[in-house]
Amino acid sequence: MGEFPSTAAAVTPGWIEAQLARAGLLVDARITGLEWKAIGTGQVGDTARFTITYDRPTAAPATLAGKFASADPTSRGTAAAMMLYVKEVGFYRELAGMLAVRTPKVYAAEINAEGTDFVLLFEDLAPERGGNQLEGCGLADAEAAIRQAAALHSATIGHPKVLGADWLHGREGLLEQIGQLYHQAHAIFRERYDGQLAADALALCDELDKRVEHWLARQPEEPCLIHGDFRLDNMLFGVGCGAEPIAIVDWQTCAIGCAMTDVGYFMGCGIGSELRRPNEAALLALYAEEMARHGSPIAHDVMMRRYRIGALHGLFTAVFSAAFVVRTERGDANFLSMARGAAELALDHDSIGALDAMMENAQC
């Protein structure tokens, strides 16, 4: 592995030329100007848009996006420990090309041996709008996301390339470490959001904290690739200036798991209760229809059992992330929004009861 730029400021015209030439896009053109600006709201990675000037007309892209390790030491350390950068680079190197899910085409995917520095250089999807966790979305956006979830899950259920990817399994002892850290995170989260989150939601956090080791140890009946952070902030709508409905980005939490973890997460902390409650049955029916269309039918009772448990993923993620990434005003609001929506879904469907039943019957 050669050297690569680990920040947007370190990217040079020569390095981009080399990536575009390898992709067969540069031909005889040369870069005469390169500018960049930060984009996105991610808390564990820094993203930038590069604007490129060439010395002649060319089919090479005028803009590209780049992603790098966070400049914040807290976020960077958490990401490295949780193998988040390793997972995202691994996803784009090995799995993105086999999926019907719309993701950006990648021209460079490099990471250092320690998993602390990386670079991704990919196409600028030029969305009409980026998903916004705090603003929510309409029903059409939710339907587009559900279709993408089904495309992801159906293509990877039991897939040997997915199940055989060592980097998706994590390092030995990681789950035990996460479990220990979660108890610390729960205490921090509870103190920070006491008075802002409803009492029954905080009580639900307490119940999950008591069972977190069982939550982490669960084994899916039909393992597949899951996104792991399937919510609006990681979705782009109207990509290619409106040519395509949606693209999914930020694959640093991808993992082997239960498909309904993504769906429960999206329906709870992703879209929130105001949109979910009147449309929940229709969106779940759409997911089942799409899974069947892709050749992976799922029985309604099985889907609902897994959905009830998957709803807890949003609560788990909000609690854990709030404690171990850099704290920002938007981040605080984001984690509160995630926890509120996820808790309301979990309470609506007695997700703790479903988790307890899973622990007794070893079904996930």
Q: What is the pLDDT of residue 362?
A: 67
CATH topology of domain 129-361: Aminoglycoside 3'-phosphotransferase; Chain: A, domain 2 (3.90.1200)
246 beta partners: 237
DSSP state of 195: T
Q: What is the pLDDT of residue 363?
A: 63
Spell out the CATH class of 8-123: alpha beta
What are the two backbone dihedrals, phi and then psi, of residue 53, each rounded to the nearest 5 degrees?
-115, 135
The pLDDT tens digits of the residues spanning 293-339 come to 999 999 999 999 999 999 999 999 999 988 877 788 888 898 999 99
Exposure on the CB side of residue 212, measured as CA atoms within 13 A: 23
Cα of 89 vs its chain's centroid, Å = 13
Q: How far is CA 362 from CA 23, 214, 215, in A?
A: 47, 10, 11
Does an H or E element contain 278, and which?
helix 273-293
Q: What is the pLDDT of residue 15?
A: 97
Q: What is the pLDDT of residue 292?
A: 98
Six-digit token string for 309? 């448990």
Q: What is the pLDDT of residue 169?
A: 87
Q: Has this prediction a pTM greater than 0.75?
A: yes
Six-digit token string for 134? 């705090």
Q: What is the pLDDT of residue 74?
A: 82
Task: Give the start-to-end residue ranges of the domains of the chain.
Answer: 8-123, 129-361
> Which residues of the chain are modeled with pLDDT < 50?
none
Q: How far is CA 36 from CA 40, 52, 55, 233, 315, in A?
A: 13, 9, 18, 21, 35
Q: What is the DSSP pairing of strand 255-257 with strand 224-226?
A: antiparallel
Q: What is the pLDDT of residue 85?
A: 95
